[in-house]
């Protein structure tokens, strides 16, 4: 899967929000190399800077410091047309699918825009419909039931699948997936993950996957980066990082993962908590 061509890299990437006493260093001087075709998970607790990093990678949030390179060259997104060009290659799906759509666009328009972004504006209407139908089929949505609806008329799970149908049509080189399965039940979650992994196999996409879930990261990733309070404290192959963690923070995150094969010992845990709180 991994051809070892670096598709996206960063040096000293930093984001500071606010000033003075209100200053938050959300991302603190991070370096990374993401290779073509690999699946990278970025794992960290809430507030560790994962979404801020993703937004900088996408060019939605300006960096305070640092440099991002795309395919070996400094990324140039200084004007609207350069940004649009960049977004042909890099797309994102976010935690909250409700925030990802223009609420005034019908679903056909959402999908048509993707075909147009890929240079398909001049295609015959029938061909465009076939492409939209194919994309909907890929994510188990019926295009005929989607036409003339607005995204807010869909359920959370349908909306998340629509996001993946967009990616199917856009075929970006890099997909940034910020907890894309956070809003859905375990069964749909497995389906969505499968769809993403199939898509990755089909078009050789690089996926940068954000999650709190170490077990999931181990299961799906080639490489894992661990983020703690804006810093990358450890990275490496999923096997190295998760089976042989070096950083204390990674060990702590792993310690908190419930083990499927071991019964949960609530009474023992309660006893530990009680004895800790009595000292």
51 binds ligand ATP (CB under 6 A): yes
Which of ligand ATP, Mg ion, none has residue 46 at its interface (CB below 5 to 8 Å by kind)?
Answer: ligand ATP
Q: What are phi and psi of 14, to 5 degrees?
A: -140, 140
Binding range to Mg ion, per CB under 5 A, among 43-51, 156-164, 185-193, 219-227: 43-51
CA 244 to chain centre: 25
Buried b (16+ CB within 10 A) or exposed e, 138-172: bbebebeebeeeebeebeebbbbbbbbbbbbbbbb
Question: In the complex, what is the shortest distance from the CB of residue 176 to ligand ATP, in angstroms, rounded to a whole number?
Answer: 12
Of 40 and 132, the one with the shorter C-beta distance to ligand ATP is 40
Of 56 and 77, the one with the shorter C-beta distance to ligand ATP is 56
50 binds ligand ATP (CB under 6 A): yes
In angstroms, rounded to a whole number, what is the distance separating the alpha carbons of residues 206 and 130?
26
Residue position matching structure tokens 């937004």: 55
Which of Mg ion, ligand ATP, none has residue 166 at its interface (CB below 5 to 8 Å by kind)?
Answer: none
Strands, E, within 153-259: which ranges?
174-178, 206-211, 223-228, 231-237
Residues 12 and 65: beta-carbon distance below 8 Å: yes
Residue nearest to Mg ion (CB): 51
Residues 210 and 50: beta-carbon distance below 8 Å: yes
Instruction: Kindly tell me which residue out of 9, 41, 48, 51 binds Mg ion, with binding defined by CB under 5 A.
Output: 51
Residue position matching structure tokens 């069964």: 187
Of 149 and 231, the one with the shorter C-beta distance to ligand ATP is 231
Instruction: Kindly tell me which residue out of 14, 48, 91, 191 binds ligand ATP, with binding defined by CB under 6 A.
Output: 48
Of 26 and 224, the one with the shorter C-beta distance to ligand ATP is 26
Residue 136's contacts (CB-CB under 8 Å, 6 or more residues apart) are: 111, 142, 143, 146, 165
17 binds ligand ATP (CB under 6 A): yes
Using DSSP, state whether 97 is helix, strand or coil. Answer: helix
Of 26 and 241, the one with the shorter C-beta distance to ligand ATP is 26
26 binds ligand ATP (CB under 6 A): yes
DSSP H or E stretch at residue 70: strand 65-70
- Residues in contact with ligand ATP, counted by CB under 6 A, come to a total of 12
Q: In the window 67-86, what residues touch ligand ATP (CB under 6 A)? A: none
100 binds Mg ion (CB under 5 A): no
52 binds Mg ion (CB under 5 A): no
Distances (CA, A) of 260 to 121, 221, 263, 264: 50, 19, 7, 9
- Residues in contact with Mg ion, counted by CB under 5 A, come to a total of 1
What is the contact surface with Mg ion in residues (CB under 5 A)? Answer: 51
What is the contact surface with ligand ATP in residues (CB under 6 A)? Answer: 17-18, 24, 26, 44, 46-52
């Amino acid at each position: 899967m991994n051809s070892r061509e670096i598709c996206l890299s960063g040096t000293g990437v930093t984001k500071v929000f606010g000033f003075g006493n209100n200053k938050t260093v959300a991302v603190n001087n991070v370096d990374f190399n993401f290779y073509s075709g690999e699946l990278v998970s970025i794992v960290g607790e809430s507030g560790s800077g994962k979404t801020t990093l993703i937004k900088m990678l996408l060019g939605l949030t300006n960096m305070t410091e640092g440099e991002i390179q795309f395919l070996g060259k400094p990324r140039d997104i200084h004007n609207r047309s350069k940004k649009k060009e960049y977004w042909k290659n890099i797309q994102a799906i976010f935690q909250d699918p409700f925030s990802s759509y223009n609420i005034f666009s019908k679903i056909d328009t959402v999908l048509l825009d993707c075909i147009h972004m890929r240079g398909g504006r001049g295609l015959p209407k029938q061909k465009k419909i076939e492409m939209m139908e194919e994309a909907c089929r890929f994510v188990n949505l019926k295009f005929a039931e989607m036409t003339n609806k607005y995204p807010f008329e869909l359920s959370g799970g349908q909306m998340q699948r629509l996001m993946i149908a967009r990616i199917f049509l856009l075929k970006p080189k890099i997909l940034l997936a910020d907890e894309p399965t956070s809003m859905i039940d375990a069964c749909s979650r497995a389906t969505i993950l499968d769809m993403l992994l199939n898509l990755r196999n089909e078009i050789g996409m690089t996926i940068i996957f954000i999650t709190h879930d170490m077990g999931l990261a181990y299961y799906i990733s080639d490489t894992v980066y661990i983020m703690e309070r804006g810093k990358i404290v450890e990275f490496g192959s999923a096997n190295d990082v998760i089976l042989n963690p070096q950083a204390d923070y990674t060990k702590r995150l792993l310690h908190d993962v419930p083990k499927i094969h071991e019964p949960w010992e609530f009474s023992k845990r309660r006893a530990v908590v009680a004895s800790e709180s009595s000292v």
